[in-house]
C-alpha cells in the first residue's frame, strides 16, 4: 500500500546525497577537474601577423614543460590555442566557444590589440580571468575589472617615454614619427603628443603606414626632408626593417628609437645588420643571452618544443603570462581551484622572481580601480643594436 512515509525515506536519502555532492561541485571552477585545468588562448597562427604567434608558442612550450615535469599539484594544464588570424570577428566567435562550450577556466596569453578590444567586455561579463594578453591597447590596460591582468604598459605611456628618450639621449629638438596606421600606432602617437609638451620637443612630421604596404619610401623621403634630428619608429618588425633599409639607402644618419614590439632579431635579419646598427629599442623583457637562470631555462624549453624558432622577445610575452598563471596555480594547492581564488592568489604575487621577467608585483584592484594595477610587467628598459647584437643601454634617468 502506498504510504508517504515510505516515500519520505528515499527522498530524504536523495536530498542528503545531493547535499553531500554539492561541495564537491563547488570546489572546482569551470574547466577544472582533479586531473586537468583547461585554459584557452586566441592566436594569429596564420595570416599577415602570424609572426606574433611566437607568443602562443612561448606559452605553449612552457605548459608542455610543466606537464612533462608532472603538472601542477597533480593536475595537467590543457592549453588550447585557436587561430583567429588577428581578425576580431573570428576572435569573438572563438571566445564565445571558449566560454560557453569549452568552459575554459581562464584565457591566458592571447595575442593582439584589435582582437582583445573586441572580446574583453564579453570575457569580463562572463567573469573569466584574462591573463597576460599581448596588447598595450588602453582599453585592456585601463579596464575597470579584477578579471583583467594586462601584460605590459600601455602604448601611450611608452610613446611619452620615447619622447623623453629622444630629448635626453639624442638631445633632439625636432622629431619625426613613423607609426602603424592602427590602434597601436595611434595610441603611441597620442602618448608622443603628451611627451612633446612635457619635454619641449617639436614633432615636425608624423607619417603613417599600412601594415601591408609594399614599401615605405615616400614616408621616409618626407621624414628626411623635414629636417628632424631624431626619429621615433612605432613599427612592427617587418615594417621597421623596411624603414631601416630605406633610411640607409637615403644615407640618412639620424638617431632612431623603436617601440618595444618592433624589437626582434627579425629586424637586422631582414634589413641587414648594417642598416640597423646603432638603433635603440625600448624593451620590457630580458635579452635571451642574459645569464639569468629563468631565461636560460626558457631558452632550453623553447628549443626543445619549438626547435625551429629563433628566440625572440615575443616568445617571452607568452612565457610571462604562462609562468605567472602556473605560479598562481601552484600557490592554490590541490584544493579549491575557482576563478575567485585565482584572482586572490594572483593579487598576492609580490616580489616574485621566478619568471623570465626580473620581478612580478601584482597589485590589488578594487571595484573602482583600473586593471593597470594588475600589470604583470610594469617596467620598461632599453637596448641598442650594435655589432650584431642587442646590448643593454641605460638612459641617464635610469642610471
- Residues engaged in binding other proteins (CB under 8 A): 45-48, 50-51, 53, 181, 207-210, 212-215, 217-219, 221-222, 225, 237-238, 241, 245, 248-251, 266, 269-270, 272, 274-275, 308
- Cα distances from 119 to residues 38, 87, 91, 361, in angstroms, run 19, 11, 7, 26
Of 272 and 358, which has the nearer Cβ to other proteins?
Answer: 272
CB of 210 vs other proteins, minimal distance in Å: 5
CB of 250 vs other proteins, minimal distance in Å: 6
CB of 177 vs other proteins, minimal distance in Å: 11
CB of 276 vs other proteins, minimal distance in Å: 12
Of 156 and 312, which has the nearer Cβ to other proteins?
Answer: 312
Say how far apart CA 391 and CA 110 lie, in whole Å. Answer: 29
Of 297 and 309, which has the nearer Cβ to other proteins?
Answer: 309
CB of 264 vs other proteins, minimal distance in Å: 10
Of 120 and 275, which has the nearer Cβ to other proteins?
Answer: 275
Of 232 and 275, which has the nearer Cβ to other proteins?
Answer: 275
CB of 85 vs other proteins, minimal distance in Å: 11
Contact 192, 162 (CB under 8 A): yes
Nearest to 141 by CA among 158, 126, 127: 158
- Kindly report the backbone phi and psi dihedral angles of residue 392, in degrees, each rounded to the nearest multiple of 5, phi listed first: -60, 140
Cell triple for 102: 569549452
Cell 631601416: give the residue.
Answer: 244
Of 48 and 96, which has the nearer Cβ to other proteins?
Answer: 48
CB of 277 vs other proteins, minimal distance in Å: 11
Of 110 and 237, which has the nearer Cβ to other proteins?
Answer: 237
Of 53 and 165, which has the nearer Cβ to other proteins?
Answer: 53
CB of 235 vs other proteins, minimal distance in Å: 13
Of 96 and 249, which has the nearer Cβ to other proteins?
Answer: 249
Of 78 and 245, which has the nearer Cβ to other proteins?
Answer: 245
CB of 394 vs other proteins, minimal distance in Å: 31
CB of 218 vs other proteins, minimal distance in Å: 3
Amino acid at each position: 500500500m502506498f504510504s508517504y512515509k515510505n516515500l519520505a525515506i528515499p527522498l530524504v536519502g536523495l536530498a542528503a546525497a545531493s547535499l553531500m555532492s554539492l561541495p564537491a561541485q563547488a570546489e572546482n571552477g569551470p574547466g577544472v577537474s582533479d586531473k586537468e585545468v583547461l585554459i584557452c588562448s586566441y592566436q594569429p597562427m596564420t595570416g599577415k601577423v602570424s609572426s606574433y604567434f611566437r607568443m602562443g608558442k612561448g606559452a605553449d612550450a612552457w605548459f608542455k614543460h610543466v606537464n612533462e615535469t608532472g603538472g601542477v599539484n597533480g593536475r595537467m594544464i590543457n592549453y588550447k590555442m585557436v587561430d583567429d588570424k588577428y581578425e576580431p570577428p573570428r576572435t569573438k566567435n572563438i571566445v564565445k566557444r571558449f566560454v560557453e562550450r569549452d568552459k575554459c577556466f581562464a584565457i591566458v596569453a592571447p595575442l593582439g590589440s584589435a582582437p582583445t578590444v573586441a572580446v574583453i567586455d564579453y570575457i569580463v561579463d562572463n567573469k573569466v580571468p584574462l591573463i597576460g594578453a599581448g596588447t598595450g591597447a588602453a582599453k585592456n590596460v585601463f579596464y575597470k575589472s579584477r578579471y583583467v591582468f594586462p601584460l605590459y604598459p600601455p602604448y601611450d605611456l611608452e610613446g611619452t617615454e620615447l619622447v623623453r628618450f629622444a630629448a635626453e639621449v639624442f638631445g633632439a629638438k625636432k622629431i619625426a614619427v613613423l607609426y602603424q596606421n592602427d590602434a597601436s600606432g595611434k595610441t603611441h602617437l597620442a602618448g608622443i603628443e603628451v611627451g612633446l609638451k612635457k619635454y619641449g620637443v617639436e614633432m615636425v612630421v608624423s607619417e603613417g603606414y599600412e601594415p601591408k604596404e609594399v614599401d615605405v619610401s615616400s614616408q621616409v623621403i618626407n621624414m628626411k626632408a623635414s629636417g628632424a634630428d631624431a626619429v621615433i619608429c612605432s613599427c612592427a618588425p617587418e615594417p621597421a626593417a623596411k624603414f631601416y633599409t630605406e633610411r640607409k639607402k637615403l644615407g640618412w644618419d639620424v638617431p632612431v628609437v623603436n617601440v618595444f614590439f618592433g624589437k626582434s632579431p627579425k629586424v637586422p635579419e631582414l634589413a641587414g645588420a648594417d642598416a640597423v646598427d646603432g638603433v635603440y629599442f625600448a624593451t620590457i623583457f630580458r635579452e635571451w643571452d642574459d645569464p639569468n637562470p629563468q631565461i636560460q631555462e626558457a631558452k632550453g624549453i623553447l628549443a626543445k618544443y619549438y626547435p625551429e624558432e629563433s628566440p625572440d622577445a615575443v616568445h617571452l610575452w607568452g612565457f610571462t603570462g604562462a609562468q605567472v598563471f602556473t605560479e598562481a596555480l601552484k600557490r592554490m594547492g590541490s584544493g579549491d581551484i575557482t576563478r575567485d581564488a585565482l584572482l586572490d592568489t594572483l593579487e598576492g604575487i609580490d616580489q616574485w622572481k621566478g619568471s623570465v621577467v626580473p620581478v612580478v608585483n601584482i597589485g590589488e584592484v578594487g571595484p573602482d580601480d583600473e586593471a593597470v594595477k594588475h600589470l604583470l610587467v610594469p617596467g620598461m628598459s632599453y637596448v641598442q643594436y650594435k655589432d650584431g647584437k642587442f646590448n643593454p643601454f641605460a638612459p641617464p634617468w635610469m642610471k
